[in-house]
Amino acid sequence: MKTFVAKRVVLIMGGGIAAYKCLDLIRRLREREVQVRVVMTAAAHHFVTPLSVGALTNERVFTNLFDLDDEREIGHVRLARDCDLIVVAPATADLLARMAGGHANDLATSVLLATDKPILVVPAMNPHMWMNKATQRNVAQLKADGVHILGPAIGEMAERGEAGVGRLVEVPEILMAVERLIGGDQTANAAAPRPPHDVSMASQRQDVLTGRHVLITAGPTHEPIDPVRYIANRSSGKQGYAIAVAAARLGARVTLVSGPVSLPDPAGVDVVRVVTAAEMLEAAQAALPADIAVFAAAVADWRVAKPKSEKIKKGRGEAGVPKLALTENPDILKTIAHLKSRRPALVIGFAAETQTLVAHARRKLKRKGADWIVANDVSPGTGIMGGDRNTVHLLSAAGIESWPDMSKDKVAERLMARAAADLSHYLTARTAAE
């Protein structure tokens, strides 16, 4: 474990449910011999107590701009200057707004306005609050002012049924960002300098897909047999929804064409809900043009040729078993990938297989006309169908990349970051081909 020799951090705690994670952050910083002074906003008191914070820091906890004893002993200006780094976590929408506006109406904002030290802001809030234009303007202003932004992460919120971009990044990521901003031991200090905002994977530029349109399909399709029965599969839609959130986080306008799932609509994403494969193809075509198209849906390969208009009644014996004539569903990935006009510059398909995964994915890459295929093993033992984790292989004309097991949110972040970085190459190639 690295130590931060003679380093001092001021932690400004905002009033959000994620404030409890700051207790672990303090403990881990103290393990690394960092002196931590904490400034708590009035709202933070509703989530953690100054007593708990003080016990971990072994320091006075600062709460009041007009506390005579605090101002006499150290003062907000000394707090602002007598440190190597100021960390704001969790940074709520209100706190971000006051920072961007240059307010100094409490101890926290006064310290931030008076400091000449680096500031690391770690936002956490409801996804709709994060995607709100006012919040995004405030974040853009803080970045322009040289403030380092870390996160937020993608995932489930404390509120039931809420998911998207807004979670506080995990404590190890915050520690990594602190290390890069103030340096650790001699090895860390000898490391090559990084760009000002490159503090972690979670802090990638959030505007790299601004002005771009990303089309994503997700979930299963339901192909009717009669009014109460249908052909379907076990897809939960979690991977496609995570990709939609990751794309929106990078600034894209996102259209998510979703089959029947129980997931809430991601914040800042245009969701088109469909049921059948034919409806999904129609919605995908209607959403064009797009710069990137990701076909993560598990589309049923077949449908009943002539669904019954009334419920099929159970007969007696083998003669009473209905005979279902099946016909092939439209191939959405292949249809979009082979468009002569309005084809997205980068077309990404998914291959869910239970055997000879890579071989099937290679054939699919060639047959479908996709640029990339993301292949994953959905055998029952993997737990991928309906689960929260995934192990994928990314196939392209350049070869194959095997990614380690990670959460579906992380797969989504990595995939969209890679797609954003490679988009210009595919745009150039598409233009040349036309």
Average pLDDT over residues 403-409: 90
Q: How far apart are alpha carbons 402 and 400 in whole angstroms?
A: 7
Rg, the chain, Cα only: 26
Give the confidence band of 76 by pLDDT, cuts at 50, 70, 90.
low
pLDDT > 70 in the chain, percent: 86
Give the confidence band of 207 by pLDDT, cuts at 50, 70, 90.
low
User: What pLDDT shows up at residue 130?
Assistant: 87
Q: How far apart are alpha carbons 342 and 354 in whole angstroms?
A: 33
177 close to 255: Cβ distance less than 8 angstroms: no
Distance in Å from the first CA to the final CA of the chain: 55
Element (H, E) at 365: helix 357-368
Q: What does residue 390 show for φ and ψ, rounded to 5 degrees? A: -155, 150
Q: Which residue has the tokens 């989504």?
A: 412
Q: How far apart are alpha carbons 357 and 99 in whole angstroms?
A: 50
Helices (H), 116-198: 127-131, 133-144, 171-182, 186-189
User: What pLDDT shows up at residue 60?
Assistant: 83
User: What pLDDT shows up at residue 187?
Assistant: 33
pLDDT in tens, 124-168: 988 888 888 899 899 989 988 889 998 887 666 676 666 677 888
Catalytic residue annotation: 233
User: What pLDDT shows up at residue 190?
Assistant: 32
User: What pLDDT shows up at residue 74?
Assistant: 54
Average pLDDT over residues 171-184: 80
pLDDT of 361 > 90? The answer is yes
User: What pLDDT shows up at residue 214?
Assistant: 97
Give the confidence band of 59 by pLDDT, cuts at 50, 70, 90.
confident
pLDDT in tens, 91-123: 999 999 999 999 988 888 989 988 888 999 999
pLDDT of 432 > 70? The answer is no
Distances (CA, A) of 269 to 154, 156, 211: 14, 16, 14
pLDDT of 193 > 80? The answer is no
Distances (CA, A) of 173 to 26, 27, 122, 322, 395: 14, 15, 10, 57, 29
Element (H, E) at 433: helix 408-433
Q: How far apart are alpha carbons 115 and 151 in whole angstroms?
A: 22
Q: How much is the mean pLDDT over the chain? A: 85
In a 10 Å sphere around its CB, with 0-12 CB exposed, 13-18 middle and 19+ buried, how is residue 424 labelled? exposed
Give the confidence band of 349 by pLDDT, cuts at 50, 70, 90.
very high
Give the confidence band of 204 by pLDDT, cuts at 50, 70, 90.
very low
41 close to 22: Cβ distance less than 8 angstroms: no
User: What pLDDT shows up at residue 82?
Assistant: 83
Give the confidence band of 185 by pLDDT, cuts at 50, 70, 90.
very low
Which residues partner with 87 through β-bridges? 11, 120
Average pLDDT over residues 259-283: 95
pLDDT of 428 > 80? The answer is no
- CA 175, 390, 211, 251 dihedral sign is negative
Distances (CA, A) of 188 to 16, 180, 195, 232: 32, 8, 16, 53
Q: How far apart are alpha carbons 349 and 217 in whole angstroms?
A: 10
In the chain, the domains with their CATH numbers are 8-203 (3.40.50.1950), 213-433 (3.40.50.10300)
pLDDT in tens, 238-269: 999 999 999 998 999 999 999 999 998 998 89
Average pLDDT over residues 41-65: 85
